[in-house]
Chains A and B, each alone.
Chain A
């Protein structure tokens, strides 16, 4: 129910940073975008989304401010900080190397 088993540890943080790098948005929008971009393959429950966002905020990678949303309600908008951008670059880089290494291994097996 909490963390989907197929979501590699730490990957959620990277995905959230990536999504927020495009534009500042609130928690609901992030959850919608997450479902949308991952094509429902990555099952991230709403229950684990918010603690993850709060952790990123406390870590200083994202920052939040309260704005009036398109519905006319007050909502918390998250945006990436300079530190968060750097962290995202680093993690994306790591991920790229990791995933290409893994796919090479997988291909080797098939050959």
Chain B
């Protein structure tokens, strides 16, 4: 149609749609006028009035039919039909509240869980990070070292890359750090981000007041300076601009505040630094030097130039790193660099979990669809007469199918709206369950994209479960349907096939869910059975490190901790207590490169065991077993030979076939250069401790007594006879009396610390179990519904059979077979689908075969058992059919 055409037609369409009644009235008038005139004409020719009117009507044909044709000419009928269909559907749903409630509730649960998982996916995977040009922000990790592909890098590494690379606008080092701020005798721990020059250019940030760092701020020996985050400035200085220029005491050193960052400069995400977000910024004071080349304790971040792809920058860096490896074979041998977009790095662990969960809820949704489709099918059957009547009145097959689809869509939309409400509620639950895994969950909300998703899902489900009944919503045998009794006619064979197919599909999908959940559960149980190498029950930890120990001598340090431990040991309820520099499984760690006497390693290839600086009582407190030699005692001080203990793994790997006790190891020690480093004698071998979470591999470990080695940080671990947290307030008070600058903010029970190392697995396992259970229940109720319905339908037939001599067992077998055959087929298909399907969870499984036969069998047994029960209950009703009652039923 040409545009000018629309000038005429659009107003007409609008008018016919909105003033339907008026248009109809005018049509009536017009036709009546015509009939009157024709009648008048016949009367003038001498016909009787009645006869004339009859002739006029005959000339016209059917008046109602002409009207309908004229209405059709208006062409907006489909819109009016839709409105009418919706009204009609609403009426039908109101008329059978039981059915409607069951369908709406099923859909609400399924759409609700789908929507809430999507809200997480949206917030975590799809939404942009709050950084400027975050698609160009990349993290620079080292490779080939301790952690494989997320190694820390050195200042020198980054400077070399920065000079040689053309792909970056800027790159910078950063590193998280904790300072103790002291002010008028009160101290507070503050998280800091130490950054190299260029960090603020990478983040494309400008200061709110004052200035950011300049090159002079990074020179060793200069005036220490600090930049405040907006939040810290607000809470600590009440947003006073005069804060700039003031001094602040960090770790007993005076720093000058030179600037305040804007509110729009967010902290780096939690995966990159430790939580909570950085409150202040200080400079990384290091110089470019040969010995700093291997001081890999920093991280890197860069801003790519616009239009430069990650792969191009990576290729350039690879060439650069290759040259460095040749130039510094000892320091850089085997060391690479890896670029990751900051977003990809953030979601690296959770992406697959979330995709799996989204997939799982989608499966639950499909099962729900199958259930509602079944309900609708059953209903369309008992509505045969109504449909037949509508067909007889001239409704086309298309029109009836459309009506069926409108009904299902209406159901889905109501279910969807309820589902959104449910999602609002469940997002709170998800947030509580998963904040440790995904700190970003705090930002999850039901926003516009999520609502859009819910709407589309509802419409999609409406079409999916509406199609099956729509196909059957056609008057095949009008006369038969009209003549049959009020009960409606029995299900046709094609409908039976459709139902069996739906049962099979439900069971199949449910099997896939059950197998996945079963595998995850098995893996999680195995994870929980992992022995951490120590006994975490009745043990708690807390951070104790008074700022004044910084720079103190080892003797002063020993005196302080000895006094502290002695006083704590006197508290009622304390069984033992110890000091350790980093607590296993807490996320904290220290590693060092070591050398063996007589077997020096090149500097890049030294073994990197975990290093713990401990008090003698540490082993007893954590129940770490002694395997050979002896533990530390108070005599192991600076006046005596230097001693260490190692774990079994280190002993086995570095001293195979030898007695590790008495061997000597060189470890980096402050106040000594590479050449003059002393050797430490191994006096004891202790059990392996899981350091990086229950799912991690074993690592080599070295223990150094705190009476011989400087401790930069320290934690108190203590074992109690009862609940360790009950002693918290007494302990806190005692610590305050020992040293007023000691603040022990929180006591963490060790069993929670250990459990905390597998929160991610717990999160995905819990959710998948919930979905699998939901899917199983839905599938079982679905089967139950179908079989119950069929039993009612076939009651007269059963009556006949019983009358002809069928035993209750025959009837039972008949009914059960009808439900179990498709269930069995579905289970087989589902297990088959699991063979390639479990590949998507394969890599998050812990020591569990993704084709674990036991899990497969268990899933099949649980499912077929539920299906059998779901068939048995209605089947038992069928056996109680009284033939006389059944036969009179008609």
Give the top 7 A-B pairs by smallest Cβ distance, nearest first. Answer: A47-B61, A60-B8, A51-B69, A54-B73, A55-B73, A54-B70, A28-B37
Over the window 14-46 of chain B, the binary record of Cβ atoms lying under 8 Å from chain A Cβ atoms (1 yes, 0 no) is 001000000000110111011011100000000
Q: A59: which B residues are within 8 A, CB to CB?
A: 5, 9
Chain A 1-21 per-residue mask, 1 if CB under 8 angstroms from chain B, else 0:
110000000000000000000
Grouping DSSP codes into helix (H, G, I), strand (E, B) and loop, the B interface class, with mixed when no group exceeds half, is helix
In chain B, what residue has the closest Cβ to A66? B26
Using Cβ atoms and an 8 Å threshold, which residues of chain B touch A75? 30, 33
Q: How far is the CA of A76 from the CA of B27 in the complex (A)?
A: 9
B49 within 8 A of A: no
| Nearest-Cβ distance from residue B58 to partner chain A, whole angstroms | 10
- Report which of A28, A58, A66, A81 forms a contact with B73, defined as CB distance below 8 A: A58
Give CA–CA (A47, B62) in the complex, Å: 7
**B binding-site residues for A, Cβ under 8 Å:** 4-5, 7-9, 12-13, 16, 26-27, 29-31, 33-34, 36-38, 59-62, 65-66, 69-70, 72-75
Whether A95 is near chain B, meaning CB under 8 Å from some CB there, is: no
**Are A31 and B34 interface neighbours, CB within 8 A?**
yes
Residues of A within 8 A of B59 (CB): 45-47
Given A46-B38, A60-B12, does the pair A51, B33 have CB atoms closer than 8 Å?
no
Given contact pairs A50-B70, A51-B70, A83-B5, A74 touches B29 in the complex (Cβ within 8 A): yes
- The reply to whether the CB of A85 lies closer than 8 angstroms to some CB of chain B is no
Which of A46, A48, A66 counts the most B-chain CB atoms under 10 A from its CB?
Answer: A46
- Give Cα A71–Cα B27 distance, bound, in whole angstroms: 19
Residues 49-79 of A contacting B (Cβ, < 8 Å): 50-51, 54-55, 57-60, 63, 66, 69, 71, 73-76
CB < 8 Å neighbour of B30 from A45, A47, A50, A58:
A50
Q: Which of B4, B13, B66 contacts A51 (CB under 8 A)? A: B66
Q: Contacts of B74 on A, CB cut-off 8 Å?
A: 54, 58
Asked whether A28 and B38 contact (CB < 8 A) given A46-B61, A55-B73, the answer is yes
- B33–A28 contact, CB under 8 A? yes
Contact (Cβ within 8 A) A28 B34: yes
Give chain A nearest CB distance to B365 CB in angstroms. Answer: 42
CA distance A2 to B61 in the complex (A): 8
> What residue in chain B is nearest A52 (Cβ atoms)?
B73
Given contacts A54-B69, A54-B74, 16 further A-B contacts (CB under 8 A): A2-B61, A27-B33, A28-B37, A47-B61, A47-B66, A50-B70, A51-B70, A54-B27, A57-B12, A57-B73, A58-B73, A59-B5, A59-B9, A60-B5, A74-B29, A81-B8
Is A60 a contact partner of B9 (Cβ separation < 8 A)?
yes
- A73 to B33 Cα, complex, angstroms: 8
CA distance A57 to B26 in the complex (A): 14
Chain A, 13-47, CB within 8 A of any chain B CB: 26-28, 31, 45-47
**A83-B3 Cα distance, complex, nearest whole Å:** 12
Task: Give chain A's interface residues, CB within 8 Å of chain B.
Answer: 1-2, 26-28, 31, 45-48, 50-51, 54-55, 57-60, 63, 66, 69, 71, 73-76, 81, 83
- Contact, CB under 8 Å: B75 / A58: yes
In Å, the complex CA distance between A101 and B12 comes to 38
Considering only CB atoms, which chain A residue lies closest to B68 in the complex? Answer: A51
CA distance A51 to B199 in the complex (A): 77
Which residues from B are CB-within-8-Å of A81?
8
| Sample (18) of A-B pairs whose CB atoms are under 8 Å apart | A1-B61, A28-B38, A45-B59, A45-B60, A46-B34, A46-B60, A47-B61, A50-B69, A51-B66, A51-B69, A51-B73, A54-B74, A55-B73, A58-B16, A58-B74, A69-B33, A81-B8, A83-B5
Contact across chains for B30 and A27 when beta carbons are under 8 A apart:
yes
Q: Which residues of chain A have C-beta atoms less than 8 A from B61's C-beta?
A: 1-2, 45-48
Report Cα–Cα, A1/B74, bound state, in Å.
Answer: 23
If A54-B70, A58-B74 touch, whether A47 touches B12 (CB-CB below 8 Å) is: no
Nearest-neighbour CB distance to chain A for B884, whole angstroms, equals 55
CA gap between A27 and B65 in the complex, in Å = 17
**B residues in contact with A2, CB < 8 Å:** 61
List the B side residues contacting A71 at CB < 8 Å: 37
A28: chain B residues at CB < 8 Å are 33-34, 37-38
A76 engages B30 (CB within 8 Å): yes
CA distance A60 to B75 in the complex (A): 13
Query: What residue in chain A is nearest B8 (Cβ atoms)?
Result: A60
CB distance from B142 to the nearest CB of A (A): 73
Contact status A76-B73, CB under 8 Å: no
- Complex alpha-carbon distance, A58 and B1, angstroms: 12
Q: Is the CB of A83 within 8 A of B8?
A: yes
Beta-carbon contact of B60 and A26 below 8 Å: no
Is there contact, CB below 8 Å, between B8 and A50? no
User: B12 CB to closest chain A CB, in angstroms?
Assistant: 6
Give Cα distance in the complex from A50 to B29, angstroms: 12
- Determine how close the nearest CB of chain B comes to the CB of A55; give it in whole angstroms: 4
**Contacts known (A54-B70, A55-B73); A27 close to B62, Cβ less than 8 A:** no
- Taking a contact as CB atoms closer than 8 A, the residue among B4, B9, B26, B37 that contacts A76 in the complex is B26
Question: Which of B31, B34, B60 has the most chain A CB atoms inside 10 A of its CB?
Answer: B34
| Complex CA distance for A83 and B33, rounded to whole angstroms | 28
In Å, the complex CA distance between A54 and B8 comes to 14
Task: Please report the C-alpha to C-alpha distance between residue A57 and residue B75 in the assembled complex, in whole angstroms.
Answer: 12
**A57 cross-chain contacts in B, Cβ below 8 A:** 12, 73
Could you tell me the distance in whole angstroms from the C-beta of A64 to the nearest C-beta in chain B?
Answer: 9
Known A-B contacts A1-B61, A45-B59, A59-B9; A83 and B73 likewise in contact (beta carbons under 8 Å): no
Interface contact B8-A51, CB-CB below 8 Å: no
Tell me, in angstroms, the Cα distance from A12 to B584 when the chains sit together.
92
Q: A57-B12, A58-B12, A81-B8 are in contact. Are A50 and B66 (CB under 8 A)?
A: yes
Distance between A60 CB and nearest chain B CB, rounded to angstroms: 3
Asked whether, in the complex, the Cβ of A47 is within 8 Å of the Cβ of B65, the reply is: yes
**A60→B5 CA distance, assembly (Å):** 7
- A55 contact set on B, CB distance < 8 A: 73
Q: With A45-B61, A58-B12, A76-B26 in contact, is A50–B72 under 8 Å at CB? A: no
Residues of B within 8 A of A51 (CB): 66, 69-70, 72-73
Contacts of A45 in B (CB 8 A): 59-61
Q: How far is the CB of A41 from chain B (nearest CB, A)?
A: 17
* Bound-complex Cα distance A25 to B761 (A): 82
Q: Across the two chains, which residue of chain A brings its CB closest to B56?
A: A46
Rounded to whole angstroms, the CA-CA distance of A60 and B60 in the bound complex is 25
CA distance A28 to B33 in the complex (A): 8
The interface residues of chain B lying within 8 Å CB-to-CB of A66 are: 26
Closest approach, in angstroms, between the C-beta of B24 and any C-beta of chain A? Answer: 12
A81-B7 Cα distance, complex, nearest whole Å: 12
Which A residues touch B37, using CB under 8 A?
Answer: 28, 71
Shortest A10–chain B CB gap in Å is 15
Which residues of the other chain, B, contact A54 by a CB distance below 8 angstroms?
A: 27, 69-70, 73-74
- Of chain B, the residue at the smallest CB distance from A1 is B61
User: What separation, in Å, do the CA atoms of A59 and B16 have in the docked complex?
Assistant: 13
CB pair B38–A58 under 8 Å, yes or no, is: no
The residue of chain A having its C-beta at the shortest distance from the C-beta of B61 within the complex is A47
Q: Once the chains are docked, how many angstroms separate the CA of A85 from the CA of B304?
A: 66
- Which of B13, B27, B38, B66 is most buried by chain A, counting CB atoms within 10 A of its CB? B66
Residues of B within 8 A of A60 (CB): 5, 7-9, 12
When distances are taken between beta carbons in the complex, the residues of chain A under 8 Å from B4 are 83
Quick one: which of A27, A48, A63, A83 contacts B34, CB cutoff 8 A? A27
Once the chains are docked, how many angstroms separate the CA of A20 from the CA of B65? 25
Name which residue of chain B comes closest to A75, CB basis.
B33
Q: Is the CB of A63 within 8 A of B8?
A: yes
In the assembled complex, the Cα of A45 lies from the Cα of B72 at a distance in Å of 18
What chain A residues lie within 8 Å of B72 (beta carbons)? 51
List residues of chain B with CB within 8 A of the CB of A58.
9, 12-13, 16, 73-75
Instruction: Across the interface, name the chain B residue whose C-beta is closest to A73.
Output: B33
Residues of B within 8 A of A73 (CB): 33, 36
- Kindly name the residue among A2, A50, A83 whose own CB sees the greatest number of chain B CB atoms within 10 A: A50
Closest CB in chain A relative to B752 CB, distance in Å: 74
Contacts of B16 in A (CB 8 A): 58
A28, B31: Cα distance in complex, Å: 9
Closest to B35 in A: A46
A1–B66 CA distance with the chains assembled, in angstroms: 12
